[in-house]
Structures are given as C-alpha cells and as structure tokens.
Amino acid sequence: MSRLTGRDPSLLRRINSTVVLRALRGTTTPSALTLTELVHATELSRPTVEGVVEDLIEAGLVAEAADEPGGTARRGRPARRFRFRAEAGQLLGLEIGPHRVAAVLSDLTGRLTGSLSREVVETAEADARLERIRATVAELLRRTGTARDTLRAVGVGTPGIVEADGTVRLGTALPGWTGLPLGERLRRSFRCPVLVENDANAAVLAEHWKGAARGVDDVVMVLAGLSPGAGSLIGGRLHRGFGGAAGEIGALHLLGREARPERLLSTTDEPLHPLDEAAVAQVFARARGGDDRARRAMDRFLARLVHDVAALVLALDPELLVVGGWASGLDGVLDPLRAELERYCLRPPRVALSRLGETAVATGALRVALDHAESELFTLEETEPAR
Amino acid sequence: MSRLTGRDPSLLRRINSTVVLRALRGTTTPSALTLTELVHATELSRPTVEGVVEDLIEAGLVAEAADEPGGTARRGRPARRFRFRAEAGQLLGLEIGPHRVAAVLSDLTGRLTGSLSREVVETAEADARLERIRATVAELLRRTGTARDTLRAVGVGTPGIVEADGTVRLGTALPGWTGLPLGERLRRSFRCPVLVENDANAAVLAEHWKGAARGVDDVVMVLAGLSPGAGSLIGGRLHRGFGGAAGEIGALHLLGREARPERLLSTTDEPLHPLDEAAVAQVFARARGGDDRARRAMDRFLARLVHDVAALVLALDPELLVVGGWASGLDGVLDPLRAELERYCLRPPRVALSRLGETAVATGALRVALDHAESELFTLEETEPAR
C-alpha cells in the first residue's frame, strides 16, 4: 500500500457490499438486522446501505427476514430486517481415497446439510474411482433435494502431490493417479470451481476447523498408514511447500533402514499388500490379543512412525501434533509417541489423536470449498486464492 | 481492515512521512529529489510534502543534497534537492559462535561500512565469550570512527533455541549458553534494540539477502557441522516454529542409528571432541588425499548429512537447499547430496553451496537489525516486529 487515494468506484461498491454481508453474517451466527442497525454496524450512510442491500437481495444473498417463516410480519410502519441467505448456495467436500469415496454438503456458513460415503476397492482404476465419486455425489444431491447449480464450490481431498490446477503430479497410493488431470475431469460434472487438495493437507484443515486442532495455528497432522503423509499449518495457513510436496514423508524409511511399513507389519516372511489395511487391522488386533509376533510387528511399525514424525517435528516445531489415519483406530499409539518425542525434540509438541477420524479428509475438502466461497463473499482485500 | 474512515491525524502524518522517505530511498538506490518531484512521486500536496520534509530534516533523516559535497549549489532561484541520509544511523550484525565472534557494520541502506572477527576458544565460558564480542565491537567502532549512539539496531546470530526476548532457551554448542539472557546482557552495551536470532536462521536470511538464495523465497539452509542446524524461509519469511526450535535437527541421528557426527568422523575407536573442527578438517583433508579410513569416515558423515537434509526437505519441500557451515569448505559434498535427494524426494530441490561462507551468520544478523530499522522507517502498516 503506497497511498490511500484513487480507489475506483466499483471497488468501493464491492467493499461496501462486503461490509454489509459481514455484518449480516455476524461474528458467530447469522443475525437479522434492520437498516438502522446495519448503518450503525457498518458506519456507512443510510442511502449507501439501502443501495447495497437492494443489490444483495437481487443477487439472492440477502433476504428480508420478514419474508421468511418465523420472521416479523410487516404491519404498520415496518421495521424491515435483513438476513444473510446461507442457503443461497451449497458447498461440497469430497474425499477420493484408496478404500472409500465420501461427500459432505454444507450451506454457505459451513453448516452440514448432508453426507454420504461409499467403499471402493483399492485396485479400482481411475475411471472407476471417478465414476464412484460421481455416483456418490449424485445420490447425495438427490437425497438432500439439492439442485446441482446451487453449488458454489467443490473441494476435493486425495492422496498425492497435487498441482494448483488439480492435476495429480505424483500419487502412488491409487492406481492410475499419477498424471491424472483430476481437477479437469471433475470440473466436467460441476459448473462451479473445483479445488483439489492433498488428503493430509485437507485433514489438517479439518482438524483446525472442527477437530483436535481448534484454536491452534501451528499444527502438523500425520495420516499414519502404509503410505503415510503429513499436512501442516504454519501460522494458521496451510504449508504446501514450493512444489506441493511438503509433508510427503513416505520416502523417509528409505533412509538408513530399508523398511517399508508393509514389511515391518508382516508377521510372516512375506510383506503385506501395500494397500491391504484389513490385514493391518488384523495385525493390530492380534497384538492387542497378546500375540508375540504381531506385537513385535506393531513395535517395529511404531518405531518407524516415531521416526517419521520426529523428523517432521524437528523441521517444523509445531505447537501440536495430530495423529490420524490408521492410528486413530489404535489404542496406545499416543503414549509411546509422546515418550519418544520427549527424547528427541528440544521442544516436544503436544500430541493428540484426530477427532474427526475418517471424516477428516472430506471435512477438510469442504473447508477448502468454504474458504473459496468466503473469499468471494466476505473478503475485502485481494487475498491469495484458496489454491 | 473493516473501514476506511476515522484514521487519526498522527497516523496520517506518519504515513505521509513514510511515503516521502520511501520516495527518497528510491527503489534500488537512494536518489535526490526536488520538492516538485516529491509531490509527483508521493501524490501528496505541496504544503504537506514541505511540512514532512521539514520534520525529516529536523529528525536527521533527510538532508538538502546541496548541503553535501557534490550537491548542486544554491544560486539564483534554487531548485532544492533532498536526499535520505543513509548515514544517519548505523546497524550492527554480530555472530557469537563456538570458534569465533564477528561483527559487521552498515549504514541505513545496508551498505557495509566495516567488519571485524576474532577467534575464541570453544571451551570459553559465557562471560569470556561475551567479553570477546564486546571488545570486537568496540574495536570495530573505533576503527571506523563510529559513535556508539548512532547505532539504531543490533542483530545477533548464535547457536541454540532463542526466545523472543533474546534468552537462549537451549544451546548445547556453547558452554554456559543454555538459560543465558543473551539479549539482556548485550543490551547493557547498547542504547538501541538488540535482536537475537538462531545462527542458522540468520544464515538463511543472509543467503537470501546477498548469497546463494537471492530471489528465492522458499529455502532451507543447513549449517553442517558437529551440531548441525537448519534455517528456513517460507514464502520469504523466516520459519522459526512455534517454540523457536524449527530446524534443530541435531537430534535426528538419535533416531534409528545411535550415530553422532563426532563418532562417524573418527578414524580411530575414539570419537572426536564435539567442538574440535580442526580435527574434522584434518579428516576431510586426509580423505581427499586418499586415506582409506578417512574416506570411510567422510562417507559415513555424508550419509548422515543426507539423512538429516532429506528429512527437512520432505517436511518442507523448499525450492532451494543451501549447504553451509563446514560443508562450504568441502569439495564434492553437493553431487552425492543431489544424487541422494533425487532418490528420496518426490520433488527434489535445487542444491547450492553457501556463497557467504563464514560471513553468513554475521551478515544475517545485520539483516535482522536492518529489518528492524526499515520497519521503523519505511513500513506503513503495523507489521510483525523483526522478532
């Protein structure tokens, strides 16, 4: 900013419109305000507020509260009240993972209005997997009576390094994923922006929004699994890295020890199948049941997890570490993890289990869509786009 | 920002003053401008510019170029020119390391005006080390004819986790360093702000300012050594971590392999002394000379360095990795490092050697001081303080 003069009128109109919308959205919950209250809240002139409200009503973003059920009826000299129409648009968050696809739907304030998930076989090719998510979305829209053209943004969380345009640069966890123009493919099904995000990145956004990391701005979230990944918030913002590969710690085990999780967790001489999480769950269950080989396998896996996590924590020094993925189904991961981090880290972070569990990725994808919608509706200054 | 009204007059005066100073500083080099040129450059009114310039002259930050040697003399109707007085204040950057202390001096544009360094024994206690840096500063000020009260800010780079107030929370590389209120101790010698920064953090600022990372905003710098550390810029900003411990990767070697550098680099059964860098240099020299044991020792150390660096790179995904510290004296570190990073990283960064070498830490400390001065002189909005 080098001077305060010379703002153009359309920018001013947009600012005024945003100021009014913000006041109607309220700080915590939407509220219905009279013109006088809006003049007071915005410090704009009454004619300006009147003009802006007219425009917003025309755009479908504001309604007279009196027009709605439960609103004050107009009689005598009416004290018209206006409210933000959170239902003016819908947002969709999608997860496309190795074993399931999921979709969650919300209004413009992020209030959930529906969700649906479906299993998918880990060997499914890209086309089949995309068909599966499309069908899931169609059913969710149908069940909730949502018209597709009311969608204002779609967020997607999926494993791999994702480019800004939604192309998967590298994604070894899903068949046919590397090189897939996922954003472009999905955009054919929607007339609104589609924003694709790495699954661990989506998960950390979700935990920050409504999970274990609420109110914490420096967070590392590890999605434990056969192909582990991590997402980080630094100062409340997602850290994607220069090439979108930040937190792709799956290769760490190649260093020093040639030990992949599927080998560490095997109780025979043969490694597990890299995507067979059912077999993994079995090993954990047997370990809990006292089986010695399974317990040793689990110890090996935990040592590996601690190693990966310690490297991230030493590099980033977060306030909080959230463990999700498989580990959210594991009792007793946190205590050994805490003990080991105390040993290795100069300043160990707090450690917490994911609160959102298997809904984390789709919820984070919804947050991405919501961020996009909010930046369009409520942001005054030009901000970095959501992706 | 929620509205544009109601700015108070003193803030407006400060903004105008900053706008004028910025114009005089120029975008690349300081320039001398007439009042008319200033009115044009700032879009302020002539009376406002005149008032601001008067104030700045009184504060010693602006001078009539005609008053200076080489300026235009006043004759006839004078076209007075004004310039920013870069010499109005001095900035000091200090390094306090295991083996040396160093000081660099600059004017308010960061132009170097002097430097001095002194060796210090690695076993020196904190008091002796502080006395050594004080004496070095005193001699540098004397030699350059700099009055101590012209110093506007002092930056300090030193190993360890440093709190915002300059206290060393944890510093194992220097005797007596943990718990030392370094900022407070140094502030007794100066009447200006003293800002203490971790040495690797200072080094990455320096490489970004005038070294291998110029123009690159996502950088990890590793200071290789017996107690390795790293500093990172993310989007051009220093990433200190939640507790100031980001990049303190010295403990990584405890994970998986109990292998400290002083043991890896030993060619006998006895480890080297943890701070004996001369012995290390000898091992490197012997390795270059073809000594088999030394070469094996160096290979072990390199494998360790690659491991530490890969963990950082996977966590942060920088555009560029700069290697400094010892490694800047090592031929042939970069190629094996590049080859290994290609293997382990999904998106390997560029790798470069430090360009500033052993001046990196003091230069970065100077940058910290300069940032502080610039935020006071040239920044319009309230920004995060330098520390």
Contact in structure between B167 and B183 (CB atoms under 8 Å)? yes
CB-based contact B318 A242, cutoff 8 Å: yes
Q: Looking at the structure, tell me whether residues B305 and B267 fall in a common domain.
A: yes
Q: Looking at the structure, tell me whether residues B351 and B241 fall in a common domain.
A: yes
The whole-angstrom distance between residue B327's C-alpha and the CA centroid of its chain comes to 19
How many C-beta atoms lie closer than 10 Å to residue A28's C-beta? 6
CB-based contact B318 A19, cutoff 8 Å: no
Q: Given pLDDT bands bounded at 50, 70 and 90, which one contains residue A321?
A: very high
CB-based contact A22 B15, cutoff 8 Å: no
For residues A63 and A56, give the distance between their C-alpha atoms in angstroms, rounded to a whole number.
8
Q: Looking at the structure, tell me whether residues A60 and A114 fall in a common domain.
A: no
B25-38 tens-digit pLDDT: 875 566 789 999 99
Helix or strand run (H / E) with residue A372? helix A360-377
- With both helix axes pointing from N to C terminus, report the angle between A35-42 and A9-25 in degrees, rounded to the nearest 10: 110
In this prediction, the answer to ipTM > 0.85 reads no
Most B CBs within 10 A among A234, A305, A341, A382, hence the mutation to make, goes to A234
Mind telling me how many Å the CA of B218 is from chain A's nearest CA? Answer: 6
Q: Looking at the structure, tell me whether residues B235 and B350 fall in a common domain.
A: yes
User: What confidence score (pLDDT) does residue B387 get?
Assistant: 45
Instruction: Provide the number of structural domains found in chain A.
Output: 3
- The chain B residue lying nearest A234, using CA atoms, is B241
A344 closest CB neighbour out of B1, B234, B254 = B254
User: What confidence score (pLDDT) does residue B280 get?
Assistant: 77
Helix or strand run (H / E) with residue A40? helix A35-42
Q: Could you tell me if residue A387 is inside a domain?
A: no
Q: Which of A225-229, A298-302, B310-314 has the highest mean pLDDT?
A: B310-314
Q: Which of A112-126, A232-246, A331-345, B333-347 has the highest mean pLDDT?
A: A112-126
For chain A, percent helix, then strand, then coil, each to nearest 5? 45, 20, 40
Q: Does the pLDDT value for residue A380 go beyond 80?
A: no
Q: Looking at the structure, tell me whether residues B81 and B94 fall in a common domain.
A: no
Q: Could you tell me if residue A124 is inside a domain?
A: yes
CB-based contact B314 A243, cutoff 8 Å: no
B314 closest CB neighbour out of A234, A248, A256 = A248
Q: Does the pLDDT value for residue A219 go beyond 60?
A: yes
Query: What mean pLDDT, rounded, does chain B reach?
Result: 84
CB-based contact A345 B251, cutoff 8 Å: yes
- Closest alpha carbon to A387 in A211, A188, A220, A244: A244
B346 closest CB neighbour out of A170, A232, A242 = A170
CB-based contact A245 B22, cutoff 8 Å: no
Give the mean model confidence (pLDDT) for residues B58-87.
73
Q: Looking at the structure, tell me whether residues B69 and B127 fall in a common domain.
A: no
- HSE, CB side, 13 Å, CA atoms: give it for residue B327: 29
Contact in structure between B204 and B195 (CB atoms under 8 Å)? no
Task: Name the residue with higher pLDDT: A49 or B279.
Answer: A49
User: What confidence score (pLDDT) does residue A1 get?
Assistant: 36
Pick the range with the lowest mean pLDDT from A129-133, A160-164, B197-201: A160-164
CB contacts, 8 Å: B317 with chain A: 240-248
B95-107 tens-digit pLDDT: 999 889 999 999 9
Pick the range with the lowest mean pLDDT from A192-201, A324-333, B264-273: A324-333
Task: Name the residue with higher pLDDT: B261 or B63.
Answer: B63
- The chain B residue lying nearest A306, using CA atoms, is B255
B144-178 tens-digit pLDDT: 999 999 999 999 999 988 999 999 988 878 899 99
Q: Could you tell me if residue B162 is inside a domain?
A: yes
CB contacts, 8 Å: A43 with chain B: 3, 5-6
Q: Looking at the structure, tell me whether residues A58 and A116 fall in a common domain.
A: no
Q: Given pLDDT bands bounded at 50, 70 and 90, which one contains residue B287?
A: confident
CB contacts, 8 Å: A218 with chain B: 241-242
CB contacts, 8 Å: A349 with chain B: 242
Domain membership of residue A247 as a residue range? 214-355
CB-based contact B314 A251, cutoff 8 Å: yes
Q: What is the domain-level CATH number for residue B53? A: 1.10.10.10
Q: Is A230 helix (H, G, I), strand (E, B) or coil?
A: strand
Which amino acid appears at position A60 of this protein?
Answer: G
B226-277 tens-digit pLDDT: 667 899 999 999 998 888 888 877 665 554 445 666 777 777 777 777 666 7
Q: Is A245 helix (H, G, I), strand (E, B) or coil?
A: coil
Share of chain B above pLDDT 70, in %: 85
Q: Does the pLDDT value for residue B198 go beyond 80?
A: yes
Q: Does the pLDDT value for residue A309 go beyond 90?
A: no
The last residue of one of the domains, among B56, B87, B118, is B87
CB-based contact A317 B347, cutoff 8 Å: no
Q: Does the pLDDT value for residue A385 go beyond 90?
A: no
For residues A119 and A383, give the distance between their C-alpha atoms in angstroms, rounded to a whole number.
37
Q: Looking at the structure, tell me whether residues B237 and B329 fall in a common domain.
A: yes
CB contacts, 8 Å: B161 with chain A: 346-347
Q: Does the pLDDT value for residue A276 go beyond 60?
A: yes
Contact in structure between A61 and A84 (CB atoms under 8 Å)? yes
Q: What is the domain-level CATH number for residue A160? A: 3.30.420.40
Q: Looking at the structure, tell me whether residues B226 and B319 fall in a common domain.
A: yes
CB-based contact A254 B343, cutoff 8 Å: yes
Q: Looking at the structure, tell me whether residues A181 and A273 fall in a common domain.
A: no
Q: Looking at the structure, tell me whether residues B81 and B93 fall in a common domain.
A: no
DSSP state of A62: E
The last residue of one of the domains, among A87, A117, A148, is A87
Contact in structure between A284 and A305 (CB atoms under 8 Å)? no
Q: Could you tell me if residue B4 is inside a domain?
A: no
CB contacts, 8 Å: B6 with chain A: 43
Q: Looking at the structure, tell me whether residues A132 and A160 fall in a common domain.
A: yes
Share of chain B above pLDDT 90, in %: 46
CB contacts, 8 Å: B244 with chain A: 317, 347
CB-based contact B315 A230, cutoff 8 Å: yes
CB-based contact A307 B255, cutoff 8 Å: yes
Task: Name the residue with higher pLDDT: A272 or A196.
Answer: A196
The last residue of one of the domains, among A52, A69, A87, is A87
A35-89 tens-digit pLDDT: 999 999 888 999 999 999 999 999 899 998 864 444 455 455 667 889 989 888 9
How many C-beta atoms lie closer than 10 Å to residue B199's C-beta? 28
CB-based contact A255 B319, cutoff 8 Å: no
- The chain B residue lying nearest A236, using CA atoms, is B242
Mind telling me how many Å the CA of B271 is from chain A's nearest CA? Answer: 21
CB contacts, 8 Å: B315 with chain A: 230, 232, 246-247, 249, 311-312, 315-316
Q: Does the pLDDT value for residue B3 go beyond 60?
A: no
CB-based contact B306 A2, cutoff 8 Å: no
Q: Could you tell me if residue B387 is inside a domain?
A: no
Which amino acid appears at position B181 of this protein?
Answer: P
Pick the range with the lowest mean pLDDT from A222-236, A251-265, B73-87, B111-125: A251-265
Pick the range with the lowest mean pLDDT from A27-36, A124-133, A286-295, B119-128: A27-36
